[in-house]
A and B are shown apart, each in its own frame.
Chain A
Amino acid sequence: MPTALPSARRELFSGLLFSAPAFILLSLIHIVPLLTLIALSFTDYELGALDVRWLGLDNFARAFSDPVFQRALRNTLLYVAIVIPGSVLLGLLIALLVHARKRTRSIYEVIYFLPVTSTLVAMATVWQFLLHPRLGPVNGFLKSLGFPEIAFLSEPSLVIPTLAVIGLWQMVGFNMILFLAGLSTIPRDLYDAAEVDGAGGAVDRFLRITWPMLGPTTMFVTVTTCITAFKVFDTVAVLTHGRGGSEVLLYAIYLEGFHYFKMGYAAALTLVFLAFILVFSILQARRMDRKVHYA
């Protein structure tokens, strides 16, 4: 019919009009910067420079032979390997313990959540003091047990594990709150039914009801922890400044872009970093999605 066309077109037009604000905002905030980043990563752009050279894939080739970047990559993977299982399991454990409290529950919630609300820059001085090899209480305690002085933040082999412990301290409280929310959605009658069926022990109840019912929460917590752990930056920036070979991915990018002013190379490293996060998140989401039981 000849009249159908204009009305279909009008519909198309109004549809586009309605989606335009979201589309424009999305392109301005995410897509245009990402395209700029990709374009920059093929050049040798330096901040303030008047001429720019096209390098092709040179920046990426350089990244994988750059000892600092490789060290940053290794450090980040080690950090992630400690922080993800640590903060998810600890978060769950604390949530289970806190959930069982009746009157004191809110006090424990506040205590464990405090590190999340404190700013690390302000806490950096405290950590530096706590971990001071000579003046700090941590070493004071270790010394009383007969250990020698340990320079947690300067000894190259200990720096990343130390930062990971601080990372745990920062993240456990947040994960605990998420698990608590997950725990409170589990219907009580499931436990009652299990008891009738003879699954009365705490371990039994945990393995058969709590753990499977927490599936969606666990997946969410793991993915967000993974992304946060990969983005580790503030502890390195304020506590070690990358000294003693403690660079992580974001810190290496920050050094290149904001201290050495090699914007092109920093852009290439950022793309590598984005690829890492993307791949890890997809893998994890996929693997866990198959196992998660959505009630």
Chain B
Amino acid sequence: MSMLKRTLIAAGALAAFAVPALAAEVKLEGFHANPAFARFHGPIAEAFMKKHPEIEVTYRATSPSYNEAHQQILRSAVTNELPDFYFSGYHLLPELVETLEKRDQIVDLGSFLTEEGEDFVTENYAPRMLALGQIEGKQWGLAFNASSPLMYYNADLVKQAGGDPENMPSDWESVMALAAKINTLGDDITGISYDVGTWPDDWLWQAALYQQGARLFDGEGDVAFGNEAGLKSLELFRTFVTDGGMQILDWNQSRQQFGAGKTGIFFTTPAHLTVITDMVGDKFALRTAPFPLDDKGEMSGVPTGGNAVVMLTKDEAKQKAAWEYIKFATGPEAQKIVVEMTGYLPTNLRTVETDYLGAFYDANPNYRTAIDQIDRSLPWVGYPGGQSVRVWNTQREIIAAVMRGEKTPEEGLEEMVQATSQMMN
């Protein structure tokens, strides 16, 4: 027997042993947007694999934003190389489902939830959180990251202006009155900053409407903000500039300015809480408060940003494993990791239990604010017709022009309604 033959036989024998061991292991591949999110996706996958050694979870290289990740998923759909599960931005979920459902490349999670039983569902997921992953009545995704806009404020400046940092106003008129006072504290102090005109998506615009109980479009798919609520929002935006001293800045620049202690009141996502807390350090007393609501009724609330996890694999064994992973990622243990690292609000009801985050929230009240407005969460919606990104890019320029005073709120609103209706159909 030659050396080569012997080696081949030995290799064959080894392979025969190795194959069954490999087959027992399921390999899952995931994909998410935003490189910064790898900070929590990595540890979550590790914690999961410790519990389920038979399942191996890896992540593909990330995309810089939700939009680019969406595009990459569509490309992989065409070449049939989709990952097994994926975290899609809420506002892009309708477009994703619309495209992938036709191609039979996305899995309805409803049956998996039913199999787990009603108790499991009610224990873990609030109806408002479940709603974030529903498109036309079907549960395509489960909420993973969620955030609604928060009011951040510089307690030192609020105090200097005669406000009470312990009791921040909860309606816009009083917030504006306070902001105007802060604005007079010094030449380099800005009263308020609400960067709707430079925000990458229409989250803060939806927030301005939702807090009045208004909506973007009605059941028939017509623009619904061409009314008093829309006008009031634009007028409010203009007063941020005229009375509150707000400058139209890139949102990063605006955040730098707040972090430097030069802005009194500032609105952004709780997902930035850890970053801003680090940025502020000991410079001033940083506090957060719920987003002000003019209408305190049933219809009023705040839009929820973030992403939902969807299942894309067709393989049955992989689907089972992916469901285990999805359950884990939206479970209390994984959500604890996310909350501590970012400030996102947990999408799992059990996370606030003392076993998980109870103590953390007691020690860090700024993080608790997001939880306090959790029952105000409304879905962050995309426009029918799948042109949400283009709609916002157009609306944003008009809003910025109104804020700069180049257009009156009335003119701006008319233009927005007209441009939006055109793009919705």
Contacts and interface: CB of A to CB of B under 8 A. Distances in A.
Check if A and B associate. yes
Interface of A: 47-50, 125, 128-129, 132-135, 149, 151, 153-154, 239-245, 255, 258-261
Contacts of A242: 393
B257 A261 contact: no
A236 to B, nearest CB: 12
Interface string B85-111: 000000000000001101100000000
Contacts, number: 76
B250 A154 contact: yes
A151 B198 CA distance: 13
A157 to B, nearest CB: 11
Instruction: Identify the interface centre among A47, A50, A242: most chain B CB within 10 Å of its CB.
Output: A47
A243 B392 CA distance: 11
Contacts of A245: 397
A48 B390 contact: no
Given A48-B77, A258-B68, A128 B390 contact: no
B185 to A, nearest CB: 14
Interface of B: 67-68, 71, 74-75, 77-78, 99-100, 102-103, 188, 190, 198, 200, 247-250, 252-253, 256-257, 260, 262, 387, 389-390, 393, 396-397, 400
B249 A255 contact: no
A245 B262 CA distance: 27
Given A128-B252, A134-B262, A48 B74 contact: yes
A128 B259 CA distance: 15
B387 A134 contact: no
Given A132-B256, A241-B200, A260-B390, A48 B250 contact: no
Contacts of B256: 128-129, 132, 135
22 contacts: A48-B74, A48-B77, A48-B99, A125-B252, A128-B250, A129-B256, A132-B257, A134-B188, A135-B260, A151-B248, A153-B250, A154-B249, A243-B250, A243-B396, A255-B393, A258-B67, A258-B68, A258-B71, A259-B67, A259-B71, A260-B387, A260-B390
A47 B72 CA distance: 10
Contacts of A129: 256
A259 B389 contact: yes
Instruction: Identify the interface centre among A125, A128, A154, A258: most chain B CB within 10 Å of its CB.
Output: A154
Contacts of B188: 134
Contact of A134 (B75, B190, B393): B190
B390 to A, nearest CB: 5
A135 B189 CA distance: 11
Nearest to A244: B400
A128 B253 contact: yes
B253 to A, nearest CB: 5
Nearest to B401: A156
Contacts of A154: 198, 247-250
A241 B195 CA distance: 14
B262 A50 contact: no
Given A47-B75, A50-B103, A154-B198, A133 B260 contact: no
Contacts of A260: 387, 389-390
Nearest to B406: A156
Instruction: Identify the interface centre among B75, B77, B250: most chain A CB within 10 Å of its CB.
Output: B250
B296 to A, nearest CB: 34
B357 to A, nearest CB: 32
A244 B260 CA distance: 25
A243 B389 contact: no
A133 B78 contact: no
Nearest to B73: A48
A149 B190 CA distance: 13
A89 B99 CA distance: 52
A243 B198 contact: yes
Contacts of B250: 128, 153-154, 239-241, 243
Contacts of B252: 125, 128
B253 A132 contact: yes
Nearest to B68: A258
B197 to A, nearest CB: 8
Contacts of A149: 247
A134 B257 contact: yes
Contacts of A240: 250
